[in-house]
């Protein structure tokens, strides 16, 4: 997983509306970039709703919130509509960006070993440098922990 002080790798991915979004387009603003396993699963839905509930506060701090999973653009559309998600959701079906941040890892579930997205969050500063890394975050407390960190 990428570490604090590392330049965040730039990327271009499609959002839920099919628009291409690059990380470099957010230079000048802080970005909360969170990776999650899958749309419409209990933990991922709770995490997304927590970010949505706190979205005005992130906006007031001039911080962009971006969620990335390997789900399709159409899956993101349904997910965002179902939960009224006001922030950017990006589709990384080939998991290239997920891998570049080190969030694609070996996981064990009921004795079965596979690879998948580890729920993790990065705070990226106005110059594109990672200023905080939160590996293996809890879906219910992630948004609040990030806000607490941003408030100092």
Q: What is the pLDDT of residues 25-70, one digit of tens each?
A: 999 999 999 999 999 999 999 999 999 999 999 999 999 999 999 9
CATH of the domain at 106: 3.40.30.10
Q: Is residue 120 part of a domain?
A: yes
Q: Is residue 20 part of a domain?
A: yes
Separation of alpha carbons 107 and 35, rounded Å: 15
Please give the share of the chain, as a percent, with pLDDT higher than 70: 100
Q: Reply yes or no on whether the pLDDT at 20 is more than 90.
A: yes
Q: Is residue 2 part of a domain?
A: no
Q: Is residue 118 part of a domain?
A: yes
Q: Is residue 6 part of a domain?
A: no
Q: Could you give the number of structural domains in the chain?
A: 1
- Structural domain of residue 113, as residue ranges? 12-151
Active site residue 49: no
Q: Reply yes or no on whether the pLDDT at 110 is more than 90.
A: no
pLDDT grade, residue 111 (50/70/90)? confident
Residues recorded for the chain: 152
What DSSP designation does 139 have? T
Choose the catalytic residue: 8, 13, 23, 44. 44
Q: Is residue 138 part of a domain?
A: yes
Write the DSSP string, 13-75. EEETTS-EEEGGGGTTSEEEEEE-S-TTSHHHHHHHHHHHHTHHHHHHTTEEEEEEESS-HHH
pLDDT grade, residue 107 (50/70/90)? confident
């Amino acid at each position: 997983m990428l570490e604090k002080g590392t330049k965040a790798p730039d990327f271009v991915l499609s959002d839920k509306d099919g628009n291409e979004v690059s990380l470099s387009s957010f230079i000048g603003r802080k970005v909360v970039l969170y990776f999650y396993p899958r749309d419409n699963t209990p933990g991922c839905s709770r995490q997304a709703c927590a970010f949505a509930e706190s979205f005005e506060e992130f906006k007031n701090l001039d911080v962009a919130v971006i969620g990335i999973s390997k789900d399709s653009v159409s899956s993101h559309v349904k997910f965002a509509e179902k939960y009224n998600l006001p922030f950017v959701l990006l589709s990384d079906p080939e998991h290239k960006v997920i891998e570049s941040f080190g969030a694609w890892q070996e996981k064990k579930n009921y004795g079965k070993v596979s690879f998948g997205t580890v729920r993790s969050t990065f705070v990226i500063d106005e110059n594109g440098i990672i200023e905080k890394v939160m590996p293996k975050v809890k879906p219910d407390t992630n948004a609040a922990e990030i806000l607490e960190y941003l408030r100092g």
